[in-house]
Structure 1
Amino acid sequence: MQNIWMIIVFLSAGIIGFWCMKKIDSLFEKNQEKYLREWETEDMLAEESETESRSREKGWAERSISLYHEKKVKQEQKYYMLSDWVKTVVVATVTTVLSFLFEELGIRQSNIVTVYILGVLVTAAITASRIYSLTLSVFSVLIFNFLFTAPKYTLKAYDTGYFITFGIMFLSALITSSLTVKLKNNAREAAQTAFRTQILFDMNQLLQQERDKKDILEVTAMQLIKLLNRNIVVYEVEKASLSAPHVYYCGEEEEQESYTTEEERQACLWVMKNNRHAGATTKMFPNAKCLYLAVRVNNMVYGVIGIALGNSPMDTFEKSIVLSILGECALALENEQSIREKEEAAVMAQNEQLRANLLRAISHDLRTPLTVISGNASNLLSNEDKFDKETKLRLYGDIYDDSMWLINLVENLLSVTRIEDGRLNLKMSVELIDEVTAESIRHLPRKSAEYQIHLKKNDEFLMAKMDVRLILQVIINLIDNALKYTPAGSVIEVASQKKENMVEVSVSDNGPGISAEAKEHIFEMFYTGTHKIVDSRRSLGLGLSLCRSIIEAHEGSIRVEDNHPHGCIFTFTLPAEEVHLNE
């Protein structure tokens, strides 16, 4: 009769225990189903772009991903592993030995019961499934009844109160193990959340370093490979059309054609047009090898990512991280597009400003000398017999100076146009620097006679490889700049020297000099400074900008410095050429 009651108590306790476990399992499954529903809805695709927290250690993500894969493999193994059964048997043996020890010490049986409950708790903590703690709960009651209750070494119990003790012992052990398993699940979810946060933070850090759309998508693909250990296919979306696919392999490269078939491309097109996922594990194009997801912000699709699934679909946690990574990628692509559009708008605005400045400057600079030329020519035509020889020569000289200035202006404009269009063809030859500087002085306007222009020749034979026509233009522009911004009588010196493997050519003056603010912009196109120009009609501001472009095309550099006690020095460099004399 007692055995029958014991069986009834065990059956009742087992039913209650299984009911409790079932409720806990159902809660856990509902939590998983919630994530699955979020995966299936399109709202999750649009909203998974929240800002993630910060990390401390660089490279943590790679190690975390490796650990994640190891844990994932362990979790995918069968629960009923031999090692966990061995752990359960060891715990049962240890608790039984401790119970015998406590009995010898005269400790009451109620305290021995807690030892077995502790054993169940330990089992729940160190094993992978609750089946082990449940099994130990049942056997703990049986062992306690068999070894420690009268009559010993039987499953009978003289005292009917033991049945209540057995039931409470079983339920306590069962509930304790269930709570322990629940805590383990919560800890695992917290670890997954931290892992997800770290992955997204590192992803964000990597994306911030990239400025090109292709590089951003490549970083995203590599992060997905590290996380999922799967092949990734990337399609860029540009002007509502798909680019050629880029396949990134997690291991050995396979045939790319298997990921670029017409069915795969049609799935990508459907994703791009409908802004929803398609491909493997979905109702749209279920036979595709990859699951295709849109990289998007709201309704703007920037690309399509394909994840090769094979025979192993992603779990809920992986899907959640993938969506978050794609959200970060979409935000980075949105920022990249915004920056690119702003830069293009700025370039267009700058070009418009340059065009307006050029037209305004040309109209001003052409009108004044042309007016002088036409006026002097008209006076000579109508009043030639009334002018003396000296007046005629002065008028002829003015016409010549203005026409030469116009020729120089046109040369500068043509050179600027060639440089801007990339059509500046250098006709390189090795030239003697002193000869080039001397030739440039012979091409100066008549106004240079009002200045003290000195040519400082070098004792060495300095040779440099150059396009002599363009370098002459540079030196003439630099001297002409000094003529414009210094008063008559100023000293202008042209000198050259060798410094390491470069030849330096300098044009210095003792005029008023250039302010620090003007030095920052002196080589910009159309910049004329804040000083009053000596000859205000010649103020186009192309000369120094053109000089910089020509010198940089020669792989040299140009700079401006102060000339103490006053004035300025313009210096440009050219690669030096060695002179070999045959004895």
Structure 2
Amino acid sequence: VYVFAVQLCAFFTWSRLYCLLSSAAAVALYNFLFVDPRYSLSLIDRGYPGMFFIMFVVSLVSSSIALALRRALAQAAASDRRTHMVLETNRMLQRCADEQQIVHAMATQLARLSGCPVVWYSADAEGDDLLPRSTYTAVGDAAPVHELAPQMPPRLSASAYVGTPLDATFGGSAFYGIYLTVRTGDGFARSGDPASVVGVLAIVAEPDVLTHEERTLADAIVSEGELALDRARAMEAREEAAVLAKNEQLRANLLRSISHDLRTPLTSISGNADVLLDQGSTGTAVLDAQTRRGLLLSIRSDALWLNATVENLLAITKLEGGGMRLSTTLELMDDIVEEALRHVNPAVREHDLKVVACDEPALVNVDARLMVQLVVNL
């Protein structure tokens, strides 16, 4: 019963002083209740002091061991909780695709850690200020800022957080909270560039609501979020680079195709012009009028084709530069197709081209010139 009482005291207390006092009190109570003369602290046997000392040392050592085990278990549980929350945060961030989802994951985890709402301040596009955007709770809900945290400041300065510790208390009696700065970029930019500040996560609570271990865990959550932001921005940069590379490849293919398209009519024009020049230089009528007309018509057709190709290039340039202005009118689609066929007729003689007219007149609001050019290209 004596040792059990000492162990109970060690189980319900956290200080070695309590273990010392409980061991001494247990020896005194044992002497008072169980040693003759009972109900008295006097001793009649010389062996009792030594026995009481041994009992005191045994109870002190056992209670100290029990206290150390309790502390070790508490530390292990706290470490397991931190590890679990960091791993869970990491899994949540891996499923995030953009900045908004990453901020949502960080804020939700911080709200679960502190049990308080978390306000997200993000950069203002027009200035250096950070404006409150939304409030998050432990269940992951996002609400308007002033609905759950009306006591938070209306804006923060991004430059004020550059070079400060990760968690800083916003001064003033009206506004309280724990402010965690979220930065991105390399280490040099993060240490002295306000542009590297993405935003601030503010826990709506007194500064001492988090223990040292919980502040360390909040630091780890924000660090994981910053890595996820860097990873997301790197993915966006890679996607943009891939799109640019694809555009350059398309541009190169287009130039090769245009070069081929230009070479064919130019060769035909040059050849027909040489034949006509030779005809004129000899002074004799080698070619009849119908043949010369055919050569001239071929030159004219190839010139029109070159003109259409140049129009295509100009249209592409205008589209890329944003200078294309449409002059739309109501047109019959059959008329547009018929006009396009007149332009492509020389090029489709060796093909079987069928046109099915609309059952009913189809009026379309288009730029007729560009639509004819589009059908010719097709």
Q: Please give the TM-score of this superposition, normalised by the length of structure 1.
A: 0.50
Please give the secondary structure, in 1, of the residue aligned with 2:200: strand
Task: Find 1:161's aligned residue among 47, 50, 65.
Answer: 47
- Residue 445 in 1 paired to residue 331 in 2? no
Q: CA deviation at 1:450?
A: 3.0
Aligned partner of 1:269 in structure 2 is: 159
Q: Distance in 1 between matches of 2:150 and 2:133?
A: 10
AA matched with 2:309: L
AA matched with 1:204: N
Task: Find 1:295's aligned residue among 167, 172, 183.
Answer: 183
Q: 1:256/1:381 Cα in 2 relative to 1: closer, same or farther (>3 Å)?
A: farther
Aligned partner of 2:200 in structure 1 is: 305
AA matched with 1:258: P
Query: Mind listing any 5+ residue stretches in structure 2 that lack a counterpart?
Result: 138-146, 191-195
Q: Distance in 2 between matches of 1:398 and 1:198?
A: 79
CA contact (8 A) 1:221 1:248 kept: no
AA matched with 2:261: D
Q: Distance in 2 between matches of 1:159 and 1:430?
A: 124
CA contact (8 A) 2:104 2:136 kept: no
AA matched with 1:317: E
- Residue 143 in 1 paired to residue 29 in 2? yes
CA contact (8 A) 2:117 2:149 kept: no
Q: 1:120/1:182 Cα in 2 relative to 1: closer, same or farther (>3 Å)?
A: same
Task: Find 1:345's aligned residue among 238, 241, 246.
Answer: 241
Task: Find 2:131's aligned residue among 225, 232, 245.
Answer: 245
Q: Distance in 2 between matches of 1:216 and 1:242?
A: 22
Residue by residue, what CA displacement relative to the aligned partner does 1:178-197 show, whole Å, maximum 9, x if unpaired? Answer: 22222121111111111111
Residue by residue, what CA displacement relative to the aligned partner does 1:278-314 show, whole Å, maximum 9, x if unpaired? Answer: 7439xxx899955454635533324253545764333
Aligned partner of 1:413 in structure 2 is: 313
AA matched with 2:135: Y
Q: Distance in 2 between matches of 1:450 and 1:375?
A: 21
Please give the secondary structure, in 1, of the residue aligned with 2:353: strand
Aligned partner of 1:176 in structure 2 is: 62
Aligned partner of 1:333 in structure 2 is: 229
Aligned partner of 1:389 in structure 2 is: 289
Q: 1:360/1:430 Cα in 2 relative to 1: closer, same or farther (>3 Å)?
A: closer
Residue by residue, what CA displacement relative to the aligned partner does 1:114-169 show, whole Å, maximum 9, x if unpaired? Answer: x32123223433x2544766554344323322332222232233222222222222
Q: 1:392/1:194 Cα in 2 relative to 1: closer, same or farther (>3 Å)?
A: same
AA matched with 2:183: V
Q: 1:299/1:183 Cα in 2 relative to 1: closer, same or farther (>3 Å)?
A: farther
Residue by residue, what CA displacement relative to the aligned partner does 1:428-479 show, whole Å, maximum 9, x if unpaired? Answer: 86967x7776665455322423333344568x6596967485666555444x
AA matched with 1:330: E
Aligned partner of 1:398 in structure 2 is: 298
Q: CA deviation at 1:366?
A: 2.5
Higher mean C-alpha displacement, 360-369 vs 397-406: 360-369
CA contact (8 A) 1:429 1:466 kept: yes
Q: Distance in 1 between matches of 2:256 and 2:8?
A: 88
CA contact (8 A) 2:122 2:133 kept: no
Q: Distance in 2 between matches of 1:136 and 1:413?
A: 95
Q: Distance in 1 between matches of 2:291 and 2:70?
A: 107
- Residue 208 in 1 paired to residue 94 in 2? yes
Matches within 5 A, 1:160-559: 160-228=46-114, 229=116, 231-236=118-123, 242=128, 244-249=130-135, 252-255=147-150, 258=153, 260=155, 265=157, 268-272=158-162, 274=163, 276-277=165-166, 279-280=168-169, 289=176, 290-291=178-179, 293=181, 295=183, 297-301=186-190, 302-303=196-197, 305=200, 307-308=202-203, 311-313=206-208, 314-377=210-273, 379-380=275-276, 383=279, 385-417=285-317, 420=320, 423=324, 427=328, 441-455=341-355, 467=366, 469=368, 476-478=376-378
CA contact (8 A) 2:331 2:365 kept: yes
Q: 1:424/1:154 Cα in 2 relative to 1: closer, same or farther (>3 Å)?
A: farther
Please give the secondary structure, in 2, of the residue aligned with 1:444: helix
Query: Mind listing any 5+ residue stretches in structure 1 that lack a counterpart?
Result: 1-114, 479-583
Between the two proteins, the alignment pairs up a number of residues equal to 350
Q: 1:435/1:352 Cα in 2 relative to 1: closer, same or farther (>3 Å)?
A: closer
Identity in percent: 30
Q: Distance in 1 between matches of 2:234 and 2:366?
A: 42
Q: Please give the TM-score of this superposition, normalised by the length of structure 2.
A: 0.73
Q: Distance in 2 between matches of 1:116 and 1:248?
A: 58
Please give the secondary structure, in 2, of the residue aligned with 1:195: helix
AA matched with 1:319: R
